[in-house]
Structure 1
Amino acid sequence: MTIIVYDPKRQLMIADSRATSGSRHPIGAKAKIHRIAAGPHKGALLGVSSRVPGMGEWFREWVTRGMSKEAFGTSELEVEAILVQVDRSVFFFNENHYPSGPLESDFFAIGSGREYALGARKAGADAFRAVEVAISCDLFCGPPIVHLQLNTPGANQPSMIRRVARLLGNFGSGTAT
């Protein structure tokens, strides 16, 4: 099915890309981790694992639209997901639309390869190596490995010292007439 890990210290979500539709036969590659581009969770990272074709994409759209409970109707949710908000809070979904969290841990793993990734982590592997180990041990996981960095407010802003230096460097740089 999948391996998705989140490393809170590095604010990094990493995943495999093998698509299998619940069988051992790979049918290609697909995105399993996403940056929410709009709505109340804009900027959040979402990792989704599901055996149901299309369920991951539907779940991503549901999160983007604000996670309305009414959107479910009577449908069952066959999904496991990690949602990391821009404030760094982590939430876990397991086959329902009620998240658990915010959660505290130094490492999160979901999908069929999670035990392998957790074991690799306990043996000292970093998050990327943990995903590599899961891929090598779980036939439902496969390359390419992809990752997304959480962009927290101010994460990409230059430091105050660099901003002041840049302003001073630009001061008086005009042409005298």
Structure 2
Amino acid sequence: MTTIAWDGRVMAADRRISMGTTTYSSTKIRRTADGRLIGATGEWPVASVVLDWLEHGGPRPDCQSSDRWCTALEVTPDGRCWLHQRDGKWPVEDAFTSIGSGREYALAVMAVGMGAEKGVEVAARFDPGTGNGIDALEIAPAAAAPVLVEITNGAALAA
């Protein structure tokens, strides 16, 4: 499986995918052109289709069944988090969340004040489905409002 963690600022994921007892490395999280962060866990062929759909849009893929499935996280540029599963999506209103086989480890680590990257690192230590390194993406901070400056008699005053 995998571990993907969101701490309200950073989405982190391990890189392990497997076929039988052989493991490979792959990137499971992405930043979309419009600034969203997306990541998926589960059977990799299905997860990659769901990631492509989340990134590029179009009709919801009908690729998930009882024996082929994935769970995905989507974080909008304003920091709202959505959980996607085969039956739809819903908002996650918690300060942090995690999905995948190592999620409990990551949740515990984030609950004591450590971030998503540390959560995935600890999950990789204890969960055999998590490993092969960590990728992390930070949500882009909202653009600061422009500061208006008024020039009066050669002196700048912040408005």
TM-score, normalised to structure 1, is 0.72
Partner of 1:45: 37
Partner of 1:31: 27
Partner of 1:7: 7
In the alignment, is the contact (CA less than 8 A) between 1:24 and 1:139 conserved in 2? no
Quick one: distance in 2 between partners of 1:67 and 1:82? Answer: 18
Structure holding more helix per residue: 1
Q: Which segments of 5 or more consecutive residues in structure 1 lack a partner in the other structure?
A: 165-177
The offset of 1:135, in angstroms, is 0.3
In the alignment, is the contact (CA less than 8 A) between 2:46 and 2:64 conserved in 1? no
- For residue 55 of structure 1, give the secondary structure of its aligned residue in structure 2: helix
In the alignment, is the contact (CA less than 8 A) between 1:14 and 1:131 conserved in 2? yes
Partner of 1:93: 84
In the alignment, is the contact (CA less than 8 A) between 1:88 and 1:152 conserved in 2? no
Quick one: distance in 1 between partners of 2:30 and 2:6? Answer: 12
The offset of 1:17, in angstroms, is 0.6
- For residue 99 of structure 1, give the secondary structure of its aligned residue in structure 2: strand
- For residue 119 of structure 2, give the secondary structure of its aligned residue in structure 1: helix
What stretches of structure 1 move > 4 A for 4+ residues in a row?
none
The offset of 1:64, in angstroms, is 2.4
Deviations 1:81-138 (A, max 9, x none): 11001122110012x151111x211111000000111222334433222111100001
Structure holding more strand per residue: 2
TM-score, normalised to structure 2, is 0.80
Counting only pairs closer than 5 Å after superposition, residues 1-177 of structure 1 correspond to structure 2 as 1-8=1-8, 11-21=9-19, 23-26=20-23, 28-37=24-33, 42-51=34-43, 53-69=44-60, 71-72=61-62, 76=65, 78-94=69-85, 96=86, 98-101=88-91, 103-154=92-143, 160=147
Q: Which segments of 5 or more consecutive residues in structure 2 lack a partner in the other structure?
A: 151-159
- Count how many residue pairs are aligned between Structure 1 and Structure 2: 148
Quick one: distance in 2 between partners of 1:126 and 1:43? Answer: 20
- For residue 35 of structure 2, give the secondary structure of its aligned residue in structure 1: coil
Deviations 1:41-62 (A, max 9, x none): x2110010022x3222211111
In the alignment, is the contact (CA less than 8 A) between 2:7 and 2:110 conserved in 1? no
In the alignment, is the contact (CA less than 8 A) between 1:16 and 1:142 conserved in 2? yes
Quick one: distance in 1 between partners of 2:25 and 2:132? Answer: 8
Quick one: distance in 2 between partners of 1:131 and 1:29? Answer: 15
The percent identity for this pair of structures is 28
Quick one: distance in 2 between partners of 1:135 and 1:143? Answer: 8
